[in-house]
Amino acid sequence: MKQCMDADNLHRRLRKIIGQVQAIDRMIDEDIPCEDILSQMNAAKSALNKCGQIVLEGHIQHCVRDGIEHGDAEKTIKEFTKAVERFANMN
């Protein structure tokens, strides 16, 4: 699976998200206003959603294309549908 993803890009983005979540945790201890905390939570959620988009795009470009061209098209379509459903549930 690693071959179908831009792993370096994903690792970089995930490290940033980890930093965002750690900052949110500190904000709670620092008695930061709720709306500021919610804003930061939304930013982290959006960043994680973008990671999901990158994974899904890589899945389409590599796994789906390869599965249709060289494998079982029906199985590939079912797996793609499952991936899209899981991505949709992230929102």
pTM for this predicted structure: 0.83
Higher pLDDT, 12 or 62: 12
pLDDT at 71: 84
| Residue spans per domain, the chain | 7-90
Superfamily for domain range 7-90 = Metal-sensitive repressor, helix protomer (1.20.58.1000)
Q: What are the pLDDT digits (tens) for 40-87? A: 999 999 999 999 999 999 999 988 998 999 988 999 999 999 999 999
What is the length of the chain? Answer: 91
Q: Are 9 and 54 in contact (CB under 8 A)?
A: yes
* Residue 56: closest CA among 20, 85, 15: 85
Distances in Å between the alpha carbon of 39 and those of 31, 34, 45, 71? 15, 9, 10, 44
Rounded Cα distance between 56 and 42, Å, is 21
pLDDT at 2: 58
